[in-house]
A = this chain, B = another copy of it.
Amino acid sequence: MALGNQEASAAPPQRMSPPCVVLVSGGLDSATILAMAKAQGFSPFAISFDYGQRHRFELEAAKRVCEAQGVARHVIIPLDLRSIGGSALTANIDVPKDRTDAELTSGIPITYVPARNTVFLSIALGWAEVIGAQDLFVGVNAVDYSGYPDCRPEFVAAFEKLANLATQTGVEGQPWKIHAPLIHLTKAEIIRQGVALGVDYSLTHSCYDPTSTGLSCGHCDSCLIRKKGFLEAHVPDPTRYAD
C-alpha cells in the first residue's frame, strides 16, 4: 500500500489544461487559432453558428477541423440571422466577385453582417461562463478585412471590457481575456503560422458563394484573399475551386 502511495506521488502531477472557447467558422483563420489555443496549453471548446449563411457549407469544414484537431466539445448554435438580413451573406443580395485589391481594402463590403462578431462573441461568452472558461479565441483580422468594423483591435478591447461588466465571472473579479492572435497578421503570415502548427488547410472552407457540392467559387472576396495568402506564403493552395 505504501509502495502504491509512493508510486502515486512519484507520478508527475496532472496539470489540467484550462478550458477556452474558440469561435470556429470552418475557415482558414479559425482553424489556425484553434491550433494556437492548443499550442498555448488550453483545452479548446469550439463553437460555430448556423446563422442562415449562404455558405453554410463552412459548417461541414468546421466539423472536420474540430475533429482533426481534437476539441473538448463542439457545439453548433442555430441562429436565424436571415430574419434580420442586411448582408450579402444572409439576404438575397449578390456576393461581389473579382473585386480589385483597391476595392477589397476600401470601405465596408456588402458581405458585412450587421453586428455578427458581437453576436457570436456574446453567445461564446455565455457558454464560456457556463463551462468555467476565462478565455475566448476569435480569428478576427484587421489587415485583409480592414473593412469590417468588428474585426479591429478597438472592437476586441471594447468587447473584453463589456464582458467584465456583463457576467457573473467578470463581476466576481476574474477578468476575461479575448484572444485575437491574428489581428495584425497578413493572410500569408497566418498560413505560415498554421502550417508550422500542423494545420491541415485542405479541411477548411472560406468561399462565400460555394457550389452545391462545396467547391469554392474562386472569385468572391474571401476566395481572392485566401488565394493571395497561399501564393504569398509559398504554400500550395489545397482549395478545390469550381473553375
Contacts and interface: CB of A to CB of B under 8 A. Distances in A.
A155 B166 contact: yes
A85 interface: yes
Contacts of A149: 165-168, 170-171
Interface stretch (A9-17, A36-44, A126-134, A230-238): A126-134
A86 interface: yes
Contacts of A130: 84-86, 114
A118 interface: yes
A119 interface: yes
A4 to B, nearest CB: 39
Contacts of A114: 125-127, 129-130, 167-168
B165 A152 contact: yes
What are the 3 tightest A-B residue pairs by CB atom distance, in nearest-first order? A86-B130, A115-B126, A114-B129
Interface of A: 75, 77-81, 83-86, 108, 112-119, 122-123, 125-127, 129-130, 149-150, 152, 154-155, 158-159, 161-163, 165-168, 170-171
